[in-house]
C-alpha cells in the first residue's frame, strides 16, 4: 500500500506511465492513498482510455492536495489542468476552458516559468486554436518569450505551434521565422522530432523564393517585434540559410529512405539542386534503395 510518494518515486512513476510501462507502474504504485498516488492513478487511467476513472482520480487528487497537512498547490494545478484536457476530450468546452485557464493562472502565480507552467500555457493556446480562435492562441503563446522565461524545450514547442498558426493565417514570412527559432532551439537541446519537423518546414517554405537579397534569418529574428495581425505574406530565404538547414537535415533523412511517398526527401533533393550542392551525390549513391518515384525522377 502506498502511504505517500516521495519526489523520486513520483518522478519514476511519471516516467513509467509516460513510457507506457503501465503494468510496472501499477505494481509500483499499489493502492493510492495520497494526492500524488491519485495523480498517477489518473495518468494510468488515461493511458488505458478510461476517462471517467481518470476524472475520479483527479478529483481525489485535488481534494487531497487541499488538505492542510498535505497541501500541494502545484499538484492541484496540474490535476486541474489534466481534468481540463479530459473535459475537452468529452466536448465540455466551457468546463475545459475554466480548468485550463485556472491551472495556467495558478501556476503563473506559484511556479512561474516552470515546466508545468509552460505546459499549461501550451494547453490554453491549443484550446483556443482548436476552437477557432487563432489570434487568442497567439496572444497566449506570447507569454512564452524567447529569452529566459521558460525552459528551452517549452519555447521550442511554442515557436513551432506559433509558426503553424501564422501559416494558417497566411503569414508565411512569419511562419518561416518562427520555425527557424524552433529549429535552432530544438536542435541545440536534442529535441530531434521538433527540430526535424521545423527544419523541413523551413526548406519547404523557403523554396518558394530563394533570394540572395533576402534578409538573413538571424537578422529577422533579432529585429522582430510583436505586431498586430497582418495581411498575408510570402516567405523567402537567403541561400546561406537554406544551405544551413539542408545540410543539417540530409544525414537525418538518409537514415531511412524507404517509402514510396517521401515528401521530405523530395524537398531536400530540390533544395540541393537549387544550391548546386555536392551532397546530392549521397542520394545518387543509394538510388537503388529509394522507392519514391518522384525522388528518383529528381535524381536523373
Q: How many helices (H) and strands (E) does the chain have?
A: 16, 0
Residue 20 lies in a domain: yes
pLDDT at 226 (0 to 100): 72
For every one of its 300 residues, what pLDDT tens digit does the chain have, with 9 covering 90 and above? 345 788 899 999 999 999 999 999 999 998 877 899 999 999 999 999 999 999 999 999 999 999 887 789 999 999 999 999 999 989 999 999 999 999 999 999 999 999 999 999 999 999 999 999 999 999 999 999 756 789 999 999 999 999 999 999 999 999 999 999 999 999 999 999 999 999 999 999 999 999 999 999 999 999 987 776 668 999 999 999 999 999 999 999 999 999 999 999 999 999 999 999 999 999 999 999 999 999 999 998
pLDDT at 1 (0 to 100): 37
pLDDT at 229 (0 to 100): 63
Residue 10 CA: distances (Å) to CA of 4, 61, 91 = 9, 14, 30
pTM for the whole structure: 0.90
What is the rounded distance in angstroms from the CA atom of residue 290 to the CA atom of residue 126?
37
Burial class (CB in 10 A: 0-12, 13-18, 19+), 30: exposed
Residue 202 lies in a domain: no
Residue 67's SS3 state is coil
pLDDT at 131 (0 to 100): 93
Range of the domain at 58: 1-71
Residue 237 lies in a domain: no
> Of 49, 71, 93, which one is at a domain's C-terminal end?
71
Residue 41 lies in a domain: yes
Residue 36 lies in a domain: yes
Residue 228 lies in a domain: no
Are residue 20 and residue 52 in the same domain, yes or no?
A: yes
What is the rounded distance in angstroms from the CA atom of residue 204 to the CA atom of residue 194?
15
Question: DSSP string covering 18-39, please?
Answer: HTT-HHHHHHHH-SB-SHHHHH
> Of 54, 71, 88, which one is at a domain's C-terminal end?
71
Q: Which residues contact 122 (CB under 8 A, 6 or more apart)?
A: 141, 144, 154, 157, 158, 161
Mutual orientation of helices 22-29 and 7-18 as an angle, nearest 10°? 150
118 C-beta neighbours (distance < 10 Å), count: 23
Amino acid at each position: 500500500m502506498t502511504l505517500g510518494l516521495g519526489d523520486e518515486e513520483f518522478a519514476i512513476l511519471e516516467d513509467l506511465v509516460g513510457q507506457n510501462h503501465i503494468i510496472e507502474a501499477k505494481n509500483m504504485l499499489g493502492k493510492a492513498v495520497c494526492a500524488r498516488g491519485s495523480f498517477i492513478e489518473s495518468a494510468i487511467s488515461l493511458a488505458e482510455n478510461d476517462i471517467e476513472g481518470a476524472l475520479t482520480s483527479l478529483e481525489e487528487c485535488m481534494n487531497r492536495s487541499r488538505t492542510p497537512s498535505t497541501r500541494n498547490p502545484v499538484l492541484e494545478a496540474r490535476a486541474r489542468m489534466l481534468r481540463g484536457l479530459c473535459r475537452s476530450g468529452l466536448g465540455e468546452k466551457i468546463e475545459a476552458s475554466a480548468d485550463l485557464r485556472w491551472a495556467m493562472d495558478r501556476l503563473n502565480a506559484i511556479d512561474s516559468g516552470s515546466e508545468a507552467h509552460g505546459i499549461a500555457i501550451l494547453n490554453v493556446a491549443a484550446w483556443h486554436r482548436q476552437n477557432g480562435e487563432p489570434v487568442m492562441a497567439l496572444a497566449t503563446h506570447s507569454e512564452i518569450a524567447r529569452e529566459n522565461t521558460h525552459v528551452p524545450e517549452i519555447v521550442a514547442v511554442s515557436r513551432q505551434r506559433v509558426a503553424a498558426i501564422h501559416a494558417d493565417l497566411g503569414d508565411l514570412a512569419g511562419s518561416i521565422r518562427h520555425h527557424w527559432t524552433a529549429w535552432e532551439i530544438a536542435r541545440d537541446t536534442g529535441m530531434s522530432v521538433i527540430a526535424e519537423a521545423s527544419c523541413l518546414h523551413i526548406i519547404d517554405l523557403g523554396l518558394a523564393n530563394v533570394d540572395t537579397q533576402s534578409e538573413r534569418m538571424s537578422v529577422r529574428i533579432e529585429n522582430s517585434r510583436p505586431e498586430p495581425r497582418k495581411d498575408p505574406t510570402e516567405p523567402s530565404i537567403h541561400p546561406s540559410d537554406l544551405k544551413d538547414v539542408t545540410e543539417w537535415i540530409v544525414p537525418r533523412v538518409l537514415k531511412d529512405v524507404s517509402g514510396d511517398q517521401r515528401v521530405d526527401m523530395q524537398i531536400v533533393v530540390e533544395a540541393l539542386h537549387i544550391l548546386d550542392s555536392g551532397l546530392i551525390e549521397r542520394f545518387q549513391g543509394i538510388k537503388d534503395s529509394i522507392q519514391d518515384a518522384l525522388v528518383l525522377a529528381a535524381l536523373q
